[in-house]
């Protein structure tokens, strides 16, 4: 029997020693394990303790989605509370990028269901590629019922699509008051990058892009809210958690009188040009029309390429608000400025000329349309005699003319609360030196004297200037929104954003004021040479001044075919009554041929205004009979004189000394 080998034999001990690790290695392994555990513990601490709130938010986001609730824009009303701009319920489709890894996979189906070119969707995604993943991307606004049904039917296949209920802008039809009201649209990348006003806006936000909509966007816009909804793993809505209510935008009441606006729109129908009506007592704009117009409803949703191209290629510039942006020679309407300057400088009182069809100055013959014979300041305005004003301009000189034109607000912004107002041009010796680095030639002054040459104005400037002259030199800043409609800080910022000549008074001698206003009244009175006699309004003290502005020089006109583009522009600025008027109307009819044509358009608006004021005066007087007034009886009949008195108009009461 063999004896078992001892466990302590050399061979066994050698094997056991070979299996044991060296103490240094064992310690290293232990330290590595401890370090690994420490790292794991630290990671768990960071995730579960330090990052608990963050992961809680992320986990919540997997089941809760914040849906924006867009605030409806404030409505816009006329001065009597009649609605001009409303909102209507609409549905828009958005894309949720966080719901999908690769949006391009579903693009063909989405494009087909929403009736969109796939290139348009790709362009939209590219524009929003820098936006946060959770931000919905607007794909299509104001979708149809068929498109809503498509989204609902493909909830499981296309969880990235969702619809939002919104309020969309509803503007008047046929471009009614479009330039004055403006339109809304998505904020552009350029606006977000370069305009401080839009620093807190995001891509896709709808903002005012022109007119009142742009100027008062901060008031009209309101504050968006949100709705927290519970969604499942497929992004489908399964419940609600809560909501933050949207704050609607502020409603705005404009100074526009809807009845006067309708009369102005009707008068300008089918014509190119502009018309503006204003209350010279306050600067309140009563009507504003620019033609041709555009449909702002086309801009309230995504603008079609065809409509945009149609507007851009139209040579008559439908997007231009010609009441504040058309800078054209004023023609003979400028002669009222000349008359005031000549009278105030004591040069026109004794000026007498014999008009035989024109006069020669500095070796050049300047024509007059008619042979007026003897002309002085009293018949120069109704005759609109160029020869008289050539002579007066030569005596005054360009710098004196510029002084008075500038005093009455020409060549500078009026400060109207609309974007992109033009300033026009009032030439002077300094102007020629600054802009053309040359001296001013005396012969150039002759044309300026009749509102031609280098002088350019806007219709609103002429309405304010001539309305100010008829008001004894008192001029107010034109505006479309009543000051009390705005918070004080907003009103202060607005005035700084739209600087202009503002509130001012230009001293006019009462005798000169009477001469000029009587002359303007003669313009619309029956008379052989009176330029707007056909626009006379029976029973209304209607005054004004016509202007026919050449768009091409006499010499050039003789050498070219006399097409439509060579027909003169027709101007007229009128007011009622002649002194301290309640309304002033400026009309620019492009290629309208003669100021007498524009006078007929202005008379329609003045007639509508005065007729309404008389009707309101009747109603107002009847309504304001004191309750304690004695009742009518056979012994105490009503006073017939008081019954007649209610026909007195606001114009009659405010006409001032010497008014008719």
pLDDT digit string, tens, across residues 210-259: 999 999 999 999 898 877 777 665 556 667 777 888 899 999 999 999 99
The candidate with the shortest Cα–Cα distance to 455, out of 501, 424, 422, is: 424
Q: Give the highest mean pLDDT range of 17-31, 32-46, 135-149.
A: 135-149
Phi/psi of residue 310, each to 5°? -60, -40
pTM for the predicted model, two decimal places: 0.81
Return the minimum-mean-pLDDT range out of 155-169, 383-397, 519-533, 538-552: 155-169
Q: Determine the pLDDT at residue 633.
A: 36
pLDDT at residue 128, as a whole number: 81
In 478-544, alpha helices (H): 488-497, 510-523
**Mean pLDDT value across the chain:** 85
Residue 58: pLDDT band (50, 70, 90) is low
Give the class (CATH, top level) of 66-253.
alpha beta
Does the domain formed by 258-615 have CATH 3.40.50.2300? no
Asked whether the predicted pLDDT for residue 134 surpasses 70, the reply is: no
Summarize pLDDT for 99-117 with one digit per residue, the tens: 676 777 889 999 999 999 9
Strands, E assignment, 337-489? 353-355, 358-361, 364-367, 373-375, 474-475
Across residues 445-453, what is the average pLDDT? Answer: 98
Q: What is the pLDDT of residue 658?
A: 33
What pLDDT sits at residue 126? 84
Per-residue pLDDT at 528 exceeds 50: yes
Query: Using 50, 70 and 90 to split pLDDT, how confident is the model at 630?
Result: very low
Is the separation of the CB atoms in 276 and 585 below 8 Å?
Answer: yes
Under 8 Å between Cβ of 285 and 255: yes
* Percent share of the chain, pLDDT over 70: 83
Domain boundaries, the chain: 66-253, 258-615
Higher pLDDT, 13 or 648: 13
Q: Where does residue 154 rank: exposed (0-12), middle (13-18), buried (19+ CB within 10 A)?
A: middle
Instruction: Tell me whether the CATH fold assigned to 66-253 matches the one assigned to 258-615.
Output: no
Which pLDDT score, from 0 to 100, does residue 627 have? 46
For position 24, what pLDDT does the model report?
72
61-104 per-position pLDDT tens digit: 556 767 777 889 999 999 999 999 999 998 989 888 776 767 77
Residue 597 above 50 pLDDT? yes
């Amino acid at each position: 029997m063999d004896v078992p080998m001892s466990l302590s034999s050399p061979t066994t001990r050698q094997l056991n020693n070979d299996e044991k690790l060296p103490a240094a290695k064992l310690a290293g392994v232990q330290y590595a394990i401890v370090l690994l555990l420490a790292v794991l513990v630290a990671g768990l601490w960071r995730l579960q303790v330090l990052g608990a709130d963050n992961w809680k938010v992320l986990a919540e986001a997997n089941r809760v989605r914040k849906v924006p609730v867009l605030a409806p824009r404030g409505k816009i009303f006329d001065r009597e509370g009649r609605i001009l701009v409303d909102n209507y319920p609409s549905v828009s489709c958005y894309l949720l990028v966080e719901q999908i890894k690769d949006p391009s996979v579903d693009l063909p189906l989405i494009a087909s269901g929403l009736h969109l070119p796939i290139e348009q969707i790709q362009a939209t995604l590219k524009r929003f590629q820098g936006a946060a993943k959770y931000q919905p991307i607007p794909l299509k606004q104001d979708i149809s019922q068929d498109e809503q049904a498509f989204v609902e039917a493909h909830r499981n296949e296309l969880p990235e699509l969702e619809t939002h209920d919104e309020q969309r802008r509803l503007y008047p039809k046929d471009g009614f008051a479009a330039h004055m009201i403006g339109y809304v649209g998505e904020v552009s990348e350029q606006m977000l990058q370069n305009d401080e006003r839009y620093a807190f806006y995001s891509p896709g936000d709808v903002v005012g892009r022109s007119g009142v909509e742009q100027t008062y966007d901060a008031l009209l816009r309101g504050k968006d809210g949100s709705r927290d909804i519970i969604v499942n793993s497929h992004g489908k809505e399964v419940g609600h958690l809560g909501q933050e209510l949207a704050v609607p935008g502020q409603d705005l009441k404009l100074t526009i009188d809807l009845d006067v606006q309708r009369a102005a729109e009707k008068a300008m129908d089918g014509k190119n040009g502009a018309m503006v009506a204003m209350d010279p007592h306050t600067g309140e704009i009563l009507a504003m029309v620019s033609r041709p117009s555009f449909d702002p409803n086309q801009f309230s949703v995504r603008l079609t390429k065809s409509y945009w191209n149609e507007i851009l290629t139209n040579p008559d510039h439908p997007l231009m608000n010609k009441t504040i942006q058309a800078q054209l020679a004023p023609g003979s309407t400028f002669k009222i400025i000349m008359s005031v300057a000549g009278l105030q400088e004591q040069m026109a009182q004794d000026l007498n000329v014999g008009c035989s069809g024109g006069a020669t100055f500095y070796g050049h013959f300047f024509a007059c349309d008619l042979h007026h014979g003897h002309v002085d300041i009293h018949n120069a305005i109704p005759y609109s005699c160029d020869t008289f004003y050539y002579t007066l301009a030569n005596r005054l000189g360009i710098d004196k003319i510029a002084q008075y034109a500038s005093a009455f607000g020409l060549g500078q912004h009026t400060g109207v609360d609309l974007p992109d107002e033009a300033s026009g041009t009032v030439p002077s010796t300094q102007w020629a030196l600054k802009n053309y680095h040359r001296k001013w030639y005396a012969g150039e002054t002759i044309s300026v004297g009749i509102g031609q040459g280098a002088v350019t104005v806007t219709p609103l400037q002429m309405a304010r200037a001539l309305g100010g002259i008829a008001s004894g030199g008192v001029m107010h800043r034109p505006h479309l929104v009543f000051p009390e409609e705005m918070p004080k800080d907003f009103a202060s910022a607005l005035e700084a954003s739209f600087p202009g000549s503002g509130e001012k008074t230009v001293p006019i001698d009462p005798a000169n004021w009477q001469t000029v206003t009587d002359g303007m009244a003669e313009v619309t009175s029956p008379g052989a040479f009176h330029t707007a006699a056909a626009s006379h309004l029976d029973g209304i003290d209607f005054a004004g001044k016509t202007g026919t502005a050449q768009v091409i020089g006499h010499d050039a006109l003789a050498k070219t075919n006399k097409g439509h583009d060579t027909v003169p522009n027709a101007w007229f600025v009128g007011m009622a009554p002649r002194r301290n008027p309640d309304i002033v109307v400026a009309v620019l009819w492009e290629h309208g041929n003669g100021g007498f044509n524009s006078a007929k358009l202005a008379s329609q608006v003045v007639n509508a205004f005065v007729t309404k004021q008389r009707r309101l005066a009747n109603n107002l007087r009847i309504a304001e009979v004191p309750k304690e007034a004695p009742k009518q009886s056979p012994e105490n009949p009503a006073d017939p004189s008081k019954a007649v008195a209610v026909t007195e108009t606001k114009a009659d009461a405010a006409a001032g000394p010497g008014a008719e």
